[in-house]
Structure 1
Amino acid sequence: MDKVGWRFRTLLVVGSITFPILLTFTLIHQNSIFGLVEGFSKINVLAATGTGRVQNITVQAEGQIDQNIRESVIDKVLREKDHNGMSGILGEQNQAKTKSDVGRKNISFEEQKNDPSLSATSVANDKLLDGLLVSTFDETSCLSRYRSYLYRKASPHKPSKYLISRLRNYEHLHTNCGPHTKSYNKIVTKGTEVSKNDAATKCKYLVWTASNGLGNRMVTLASAFLYAILTNRVLLVRFGFDMFGLFCEPFPNSSWLLPRSFPYWKDQKHIETYESVLMKNKANSSQELLPPFLILNLQHSHDGHNNFFHCDRGQDLLQKVPTLILSSDQYFAPSLFMIQSFRQDLSKMFPEKDTVFHHLGRYLFHPSNEAWKLISKSYEAHLAKANERIGLQIRVFNTHRAPHQTIINEILACTIQHKLLPEVDMQKLATSPLKKQTSKVVIVASLYSEYGEKLGTMYVTNTTVTREVIRVYQPSHEERQKSNSDKHNIKAWTEIYLLSLCDALITSPKSTFGYVAQSLGGLKPWILQRAYGETIPDPPCQRAMSMEPCFHYPPKYGCKANSTVDFTSLFHHMKHCEDVANGLRLINAHH
C-alpha cells in the first residue's frame, strides 16, 4: 500500500508540473493560428478596400467578399509566406511603399490594380495632389480630378501647408457666399449706393470675364483666383457658350458659374470704372461715394495698367467695393507680389515663388468628362508606350515674317543641339524598328499641318544616328484661331493638357498656350527665338528660368512716386522674361 501510495504521489507531482506546460504550449499554438487567420483577414480587407487597386470586387448576400477574390489573395499570401515568412511580407510592403513615393509616373489602372507597392496612403496623396484637392467630390462627375495623377510624374513641388489651409478656408467662404445663397442674393440685388454696413459685409465678389484666346483666359483666371484668396472675395466666372464643357467645377458644394440673373450679365456700360472712382477719391475718400459694382480693367491694351492697382492705396479703395468685375487677358499674379499688404501671405503660401500657377492651375483646371475622354484616348493611343514624350508648341503670329520651313529648321536646330531629338542619317533609309529600340514621340500643337507632316516624314523615311525610333503626332490643325468656338476651345484644351504630360517642352515666344502647358506640367521649356525671313536665330532657343507664365505688360510706375521703376531691382524673385523683354516672370530666387 505504501508502494502504491508513493507511486500515486509521484504521478500527481509529475502531472502538476507537466499540465501547465502542456496548457501553455496549446494556447501559444492556437494564438499563432489565430494570428495567421487574422493576417489573412487584414489582407482581405486591404485587398477589398485599397483605393483603385482591386477592381470589380463583388459582395454576396451574406456580406462576404466574392470567394474567388478571397481565395486568390490567400493563395498569394501563402506563396509569399512560404518564401519569406509573414514578417517578410509586412516588411516588403513597407519598403514598397517607400519606393512608390518617389517619382512614379504614368501608372495604368491595371498596374495600379496589380502592384502591391501602391499603398493606400501613397495613392491617396498622389490622387489629391499632396493635399491640394479634397476627396468630397463625386468621382464620376469629373473623372480627371482623381485620375490625372496616373498620367504624369508626381510633382517634386509640394504645396505648403499654409496654401492648403488657405484653399480650405476659401472653399468654406465659397460655400457660404456662393451663387443663390442669402448673402449673394442680398449683394447683387442692391441699389446704386453701398452703405457702411454693406461695405463691411463678409461676402465680397470678384467676377471674371473672358478675353482673347484660351491660354490668356486661363492665366488670368489663375491670377484672379489668387487675388480672390488674398482679398477674401468669392470668385465667380462669366462663361459664354464657348467655355462651357471645358472644366469641371473646382469648388466643393457650390458652383463658380455666375448666374445669368446677375444684374450686369449683358450690359456693363453703366458701371463705374476703377479709374473714375480713383480720380474721385483723390478729393474725397468717403465710403458713401463707392458704388456696389466696379469694373477693374487690367487688359494689356488698356492705358490703366499703370493705375496703381499694384499699390496699397489702390487696394484700400478696392477692398471697400462689394463686387469687382474683372476684365483682363494678362497673367497679373506678379503684380500681387508688389503689394506690401499681400507679401507676407504670398511668401507663406508660395515658399517657391515659381510654383504659383503650377499649384493653382492644378487646383482649378480639371478637364471635363468630355475633354478627358479626348485626352485619355489620345494619350493611350499615341503617347503611353513611348520611352519619352517631347512636346512641341508652335504659335506663328505672322506667317509672312518667317516661312514655315525656317521655323522647322529652327526647331530641328534647337532639339538636336540640346539632345531632345536625334539627327537623321540621310544615307540610310528607315528600317523596321526592333523591339528593344528606344522610342520617342513628338506631340505637335499648331494651327498649321506643315509642322507635323514634315517632321513626321523626315523621321519615318530616315534612320536616326542613335537608332532611336521617333514618331510624330499632331492632334489637329485648325489653320486659324477661333477663340469663340466651343469645339475649337475643347481641342485647344486637350492639346494644352497633352503637352503638360510631356517630359520636355519646346514652346513659341509670347504664347500663353505654351505657358499654361509648362506650368501645369512643372516644366521649364526651351523657348524658340523669334525668327525673321529665312535666317535661323543663333541660338535657336533658350531655356526658361522658371515654369511660371510671363506677365507681358507689367506696371511701369512705382507706388511711392510717379516715376518709372524696374521692378526686377526691387524684387529678387522677379526677372525679365526670355521671350518678352519688358515682361516679368516669377522665379525661385536662391539666397
Structure 2
Amino acid sequence: MPRQQHRRQLVYMTNQQHANRWRRLVRGKKECWSKHERHQYWQAGAHVEPSAAFVRQKTEYERMHHRCTEGITDWKAFYFNQSEGKSATADVDGCKYAFLIPGQWHGLGNRIMSLISTFTYAFITHRAILMPDDGILPSLLCNPFAHSSWLIPASQFWAIKADLEKGPRNLAEQPGKHSRGVFCHLDWMTPEDEWTFFCKRTQEEVAEKPFMLFWSDMFFVPPLYFVPSLRARLEALFPDRRVFTHVARYILLPANYLWDRIVRSYHGHLEHHDVLLGLQIRPVDETQEDIFERVLACVTSTQYLPAVILPDQWQAMADDVEDEGLRGAQGESIGVFVAALNGSYASRLSTLYSQGKPYSAQTVSIYSETHDTTERQDDRQQYAAALEEMFLLSFAHRLITSDFSTFGYTAAALAAIDPWSLNIVKRAEVDWRSNDRPVCQRTVSEPCALSIRRQFKCPDGDSHTSDSETAFVRTCPVIDAGLHLELPRIPDFIGAV
C-alpha cells in the first residue's frame, strides 16, 4: 500500500473512531451527526473557510431567531394579531420574518437554490426564516439552529401564505390596503418589470415590512449585490464571494439516517482512491451516444481520466506505447463517482476502462448509486438519493458537472471546487451540438442566477449595465440570460494528500 494512502486511511480510522465515540455519547439526544462530521470530507475545498464576521453573525442570527420564535405556538394567530397591531404574548419587538415556500413542483436542486437564496437574504436583513414542516426539505435536513426551529405547523403556514399572496408581488405595484407584507416571487418566468426587487428604493420599502413570503426556484444572490446596503453586508460577511458555499455548509445538513448512508457509501467505495473524480450527467432526453462521446472527450481532454486503448487497437498501438511510455502518476488509483438518472453512462464507462487499457499507469474504477430514468416530483426516496449523490460528488477532488444544472451547482459549491461544465443540456437559446462550442469549459463554484440580466430598470431610472462597483457580477458562460459572481480561481487538486 502506498505510504500516502496508508496515512490517509489511518487518519480516517482516527476520525471514524472519534465519530463513533461521539455518537455513542449523544445517543438518544437530538444531535445532528452531519453538523459535527461533514467538514472532514471536503478535501479539495477544505481550505475555504468562512470569515470571522460570518461566524459572529451566525451566533447573532441564532440568538435573534430564538428570541423571535420562542413561545409562539399559534403562528396564524400571531401573524394576524401582529398585522393588526394587537399586542403579542411573545417578546418580538423589532422582529421580522421570511416565510419560505421552497420551490414546489421542482426538483431538489431548485428547492436548494431557493433555500440558500432566501436564507442568505434573511441572514443579511435579520429576518427569522420559517417554512412548513410537511415539505421535502424538512424530511431530508436537520434543523441548523441550536435553540430554535425553522419549521412551523403546515396548516398555520399555508394560512399565512394565502394572506401574503394577496399583497404586492415583488413591490412592482403599489402596496395599497394590504400592508402586512410582501410576496416575493422570483423564478425564471418572472417578467423584467418585477426584477425591481433588486433595486435600492424597493429594498428600502421592503425593509419596513414585518413579513415576507418567498417563492422561488432559482439562485438569486448575485443581483442582491446591486443594492448598495445589501452589497455592503454581503462583502463584509463573504469577502471571498463564496456565498453559496458558506451558507450551504452552514444550513444544508443531511438528517442522521441520510448522513449515515452518505458516509457508508463514501467509505465503502470511494475513500481509498488517490484521486476521486465526481461526474454529474444531467440530461436523459438526448441521444445517449452523442452525450457519451462528449463526456468521454471532456474527461480525457482535461486529463482527469486517461485515454483508453481498446482491445482491437492493442497490437497497432503497442509500439507507440512502448516508445512513449505510460503517462500519469505511477500506480495512481482514480475513482469516478457518476451521478446520472440514466445508468448507461456509468456502465459504459465501467466497461470501457475494465476492458480497455488506459494509456497511462493509472487505474480507473467507476461507481454509481442510483439508476432512475425519470425525475419524479414529490418522491421522497428519490430526493433522498439525490441529496446523497450531491454530497458524494462534493467529497471529490475534481468535478465535472452538467451546464445549467442546479444539482451540479449544489455539489460544486459544497465542495468549493471550480468544475468543468459539460455542454450537453438542451436549451432553446443554445445548440450544444454546435461545432463552435467546446465539449466542456471551466466555470466557478458559485451557481448562476439563471434568467436575470443586468439590463433591468429601477424605479429611479438607474440601471446596472455599467456599474463599476458590481463589475464582478458577470453574465453566465454560454447563455446571456443569467448572472454569476466572479471568483478567484481555485487550483486543481494535484495528488493524494
TM-score by length of structure 2 reads 0.82
Residues 375 and 567 (structure 1), Cα distance of their counterparts in 2 relative to 1, 3 Å cut = farther
Tell me how far apart the structure 2 counterparts of residues 307 and 535 of structure 1 sit (CA, whole Å): 32
Residues 526 and 202 (structure 1), Cα distance of their counterparts in 2 relative to 1, 3 Å cut = same
Bigger Cα displacement from structure 2, 386-395 vs 546-555: 546-555
User: Are residues 1:543 and 2:442 paired?
Assistant: yes
Q: For residue 246 of structure 1, report the CA deviation from its aligned partner.
A: 0.8
Tell me how far apart the structure 2 counterparts of residues 306 and 108 of structure 1 sit (CA, whole Å): 52
Q: Per-residue CA shift, 1:97-124, capped at 9, x if unaligned?
A: xxxxxxx97875523489xxx9xxxx9x
Structure 2 letter corresponding to 1:386: H
User: CA RMSD, aligned part only?
Assistant: 3.3
Q: Is the 8 A contact 1:305 1:554 kept in 2?
A: no
Tell me how far apart the structure 1 counterparts of residues 475 and 28 of structure 2 sit (CA, whole Å): 42
Structure 1 letter corresponding to 2:231: R
User: Are residues 1:223 and 2:122 paired?
Assistant: no
Residues 507 and 533 (structure 1), Cα distance of their counterparts in 2 relative to 1, 3 Å cut = closer
Tell me how far apart the structure 2 counterparts of residues 254 and 196 of structure 1 sit (CA, whole Å): 22
Tell me how far apart the structure 1 counterparts of residues 164 and 99 of structure 2 sit (CA, whole Å): 16
Aligned to 2:474: 575
What is the 5 A alignment of 1:36-185? 108-112=11-15, 141-153=31-43, 155-178=46-69, 180-181=71-72
Aligned to 2:222: 334
Q: Per-residue CA shift, 1:174-228, capped at 9, x if unaligned?
A: 1111264389677424276458999x94111101112211111112211111111
Residues 148 and 280 (structure 1), Cα distance of their counterparts in 2 relative to 1, 3 Å cut = closer
Aligned partner of residue 220 in structure 1, secondary structure: helix
Residues 313 and 137 (structure 1), Cα distance of their counterparts in 2 relative to 1, 3 Å cut = farther
Q: Is the 8 A contact 1:382 1:473 kept in 2?
A: yes
Tell me how far apart the structure 2 counterparts of residues 149 and 526 of structure 1 sit (CA, whole Å): 23
Q: For residue 317 of structure 1, report the CA deviation from its aligned partner.
A: 1.7
Q: For residue 276 of structure 1, report the CA deviation from its aligned partner.
A: 8.2
Q: For residue 366 of structure 1, report the CA deviation from its aligned partner.
A: 0.9
Residues 191 and 152 (structure 1), Cα distance of their counterparts in 2 relative to 1, 3 Å cut = closer
- Aligned counterpart in structure 1 of residue 244 of structure 2, from 357, 361, 377: 357
Aligned to 2:326: none
Structure 2 letter corresponding to 1:302: T
Aligned partner of residue 502 in structure 1, secondary structure: coil
Structure 2 letter corresponding to 1:580: I
What is the 5 A alignment of 1:449-460? 449-460=343-354
Aligned partner of residue 276 in structure 2, secondary structure: strand
Residues 307 and 137 (structure 1), Cα distance of their counterparts in 2 relative to 1, 3 Å cut = farther
Tell me how far apart the structure 2 counterparts of residues 223 and 137 of structure 1 sit (CA, whole Å): 33
Q: Is the 8 A contact 2:164 2:213 kept in 1?
A: no
Q: For residue 147 of structure 1, report the CA deviation from its aligned partner.
A: 1.2
Structure 2 letter corresponding to 1:368: A
What is the 5 A alignment of 1:353-502? 353=241, 355-396=242-283, 399=285, 402-426=286-310, 427-428=313-314, 437-502=331-396
Tell me how far apart the structure 2 counterparts of residues 511 and 562 of structure 1 sit (CA, whole Å): 34
Residues 256 and 140 (structure 1), Cα distance of their counterparts in 2 relative to 1, 3 Å cut = closer
Structure 2 letter corresponding to 1:425: I
Q: Is the 8 A contact 1:220 1:329 kept in 2?
A: yes
Q: Is the 8 A contact 1:272 1:291 kept in 2?
A: no
Q: Per-residue CA shift, 1:553-586, capped at 9, x if unaligned?
A: 2253233655775367651221111243221111
Bigger Cα displacement from structure 2, 419-428 vs 555-564: 555-564
Residues 164 and 382 (structure 1), Cα distance of their counterparts in 2 relative to 1, 3 Å cut = same
Tell me how far apart the structure 2 counterparts of residues 310 and 456 of structure 1 sit (CA, whole Å): 47
Q: For residue 162 of structure 1, report the CA deviation from its aligned partner.
A: 1.2
Residues 109 and 138 (structure 1), Cα distance of their counterparts in 2 relative to 1, 3 Å cut = farther
What is the 5 A alignment of 1:301-320? 301-303=189-191, 306-320=194-208
Aligned partner of residue 176 in structure 1, secondary structure: helix
Tell me how far apart the structure 2 counterparts of residues 540 and 231 of structure 1 sit (CA, whole Å): 41
Gaps of 5+ in 2: 1-6, 316-329, 426-430, 490-497
Residues 404 and 575 (structure 1), Cα distance of their counterparts in 2 relative to 1, 3 Å cut = same
Tell me how far apart the structure 2 counterparts of residues 571 and 533 of structure 1 sit (CA, whole Å): 30
Tell me how far apart the structure 1 counterparts of residues 157 and 116 of structure 2 sit (CA, whole Å): 25
Aligned to 1:248: 142
Matched residues, percent identical? 27
Tell me how far apart the structure 2 counterparts of residues 263 and 504 of structure 1 sit (CA, whole Å): 41
Q: Is the 8 A contact 1:527 1:579 kept in 2?
A: no
Aligned to 2:450: 552
Residues 191 and 181 (structure 1), Cα distance of their counterparts in 2 relative to 1, 3 Å cut = closer
- Aligned counterpart in structure 1 of residue 96 of structure 2, from 196, 199, 204: 204
Q: For the pair shown, which has the larger CA radius of gyration, 1 or 2? A: 1
Residues 406 and 307 (structure 1), Cα distance of their counterparts in 2 relative to 1, 3 Å cut = closer
Structure 1 letter corresponding to 2:199: C
User: Are residues 1:324 and 2:212 paired?
Assistant: yes
Tell me how far apart the structure 2 counterparts of residues 105 and 231 of structure 1 sit (CA, whole Å): 42
Aligned partner of residue 437 in structure 1, secondary structure: coil
TM-score by length of structure 1 reads 0.69
Q: Per-residue CA shift, 1:273-321, capped at 9, x if unaligned?
A: 333865335xx8xxxx452243211122232663411112111221222
Tell me how far apart the structure 2 counterparts of residues 105 and 339 of structure 1 sit (CA, whole Å): 46
Q: For residue 420 of structure 1, report the CA deviation from its aligned partner.
A: 0.3
Residues 567 and 445 (structure 1), Cα distance of their counterparts in 2 relative to 1, 3 Å cut = farther
Aligned to 1:504: 398
Aligned partner of residue 198 in structure 2, secondary structure: coil
Q: Which has the higher contact order (CA 8 A, sep 6+)?
A: 2
Residues 105 and 521 (structure 1), Cα distance of their counterparts in 2 relative to 1, 3 Å cut = farther
Aligned partner of residue 308 in structure 1, secondary structure: helix
Q: For residue 269 of structure 1, report the CA deviation from its aligned partner.
A: 6.5
Q: Per-residue CA shift, 1:218-265, capped at 9, x if unaligned?
A: 122111111112221101123534333211110111111122352534
Q: Is the 8 A contact 2:170 2:194 kept in 1?
A: no
Q: Per-residue CA shift, 1:429-455, capped at 9, x if unaligned?
A: 9xxxxxx83211111111111101111
Q: Per-residue CA shift, 1:330-370, capped at 9, x if unaligned?
A: 110112111111222211111111x1111010000111111
Tell me how far apart the structure 2 counterparts of residues 566 and 309 of structure 1 sit (CA, whole Å): 16
Aligned partner of residue 167 in structure 1, secondary structure: helix
Gaps of 5+ in 1: 1-103, 128-135, 430-435
**Length, aligned pairs only:** 451
